[in-house]
Amino acid sequence: MKPRLGCGRRPFELQLRPLGPEPDFYDWPWRLDAQSPCHTAAVHPLLRATVILVLLVVVAYGFLCALLYFQQRSMIYLSHGQMSHGEVMTLANDGEELRISVRKRPGQGGAVIYFGGNAEDVSQSVPQLAAAFPDRSIYALHYRGYGGSSGEPSESGLVSDGLALFDQVSDDHPQTVVIGRSLGSGVATQVASQRPVERLVLVTPYDSLVSVAASNFRYFPVRWLLRDRFDSCHVAPEIEAPTLLIAAENDEVIPRKNTEALLGCFSAGTASLAVLARVGHNTISSHPDYSELLRRPSATSHSSVESPRPNS
């Protein structure tokens, strides 16, 4: 007798079939009859819909990962492409022609090299830097693809250009302070790890671009996708020059934890941290203590220093 089981209100047959010596993949010891309403109306459509949904999610996720990989440099480097203003010198490096906004002082006194943020026109920062360092010549690098410089920006290209600029400037200015802001802090850190800078100042810096990106894109494998990593924490122990990190209290781009993580990567006694109150990532240079901190002669400790709050 064949057992009969019900599915809803309609019965169906459960067929018991022995397996042969070489069973077909679909020949199970028992299977639902092909005419069963449970088999045709319930199991297959649900399974098919689930498989399709999973495939769509996988394809969409893969597409977004590919988009992040191939478009990452357009998200990192927001080049304005405008011609720089004021006095400009050119520097040839790796087949590219780079523009440097300058404010020269007579003689062979000290110099300041400035690496700006990812969307910054560094020529606009020269007047403030010149006021902060009236006795020094100022050199602000326009990255590849920025401010009339040729080429396309990349980590290796920016670091190579930074080293070439330092080498040229140091021929005339043995005492050179290097300042890097935001994205430029990654360039400045690598330059300082390979060249004898007098002092290093890092404004709104980060430990690595990978770490910052991982916080913003938590559901993507950015540690595998990111090509330009700017791992400042990796090279920080090699820096011997006195270093000052300047953070914004209300930084909405670089989390404080990333700046403090970088601070911990320096050798003891090399770096210190100052936090400017009531300013954000893009407004930190408007703080009344900003220029004074740039001139700070040396890092005195490895601890955090809170800057006084400006008057309301």
Domain boundaries, the chain: 30-76, 79-306
The residue type of 265 is C
Which residue bears the tokens 């990593």? Answer: 229
Can you list the alpha helix ranges (DSSP code H) found in the chain? 37-38, 44-76, 126-132, 155-172, 183-194, 209-216, 222-225, 232-235, 256-263, 290-294
CA distance 124 to 250: 23
Of 14-18, 170-174, 220-224, least confident by mean pLDDT is 14-18
CA distance 126 to 107: 19
β-sheet bridge partners, residue 112: 138, 177
Give mean pLDDT, residues 149-170: 97
79-306 fold = Rossmann fold (3.40.50)
pTM: 0.80
| pLDDT for 80 | 75
- 299 pLDDT above the threshold of 50: no
Summarised one tens digit per residue, pLDDT across range 75-107 is: 889 887 676 678 999 999 999 999 999 999 887
Summarised one tens digit per residue, pLDDT across range 265-282 is: 999 999 999 999 999 999
For the beta carbon of residue 175, count every other beta carbon within 10 angstroms.
14
| pLDDT for 215 | 81
CA distance 169 to 104: 11
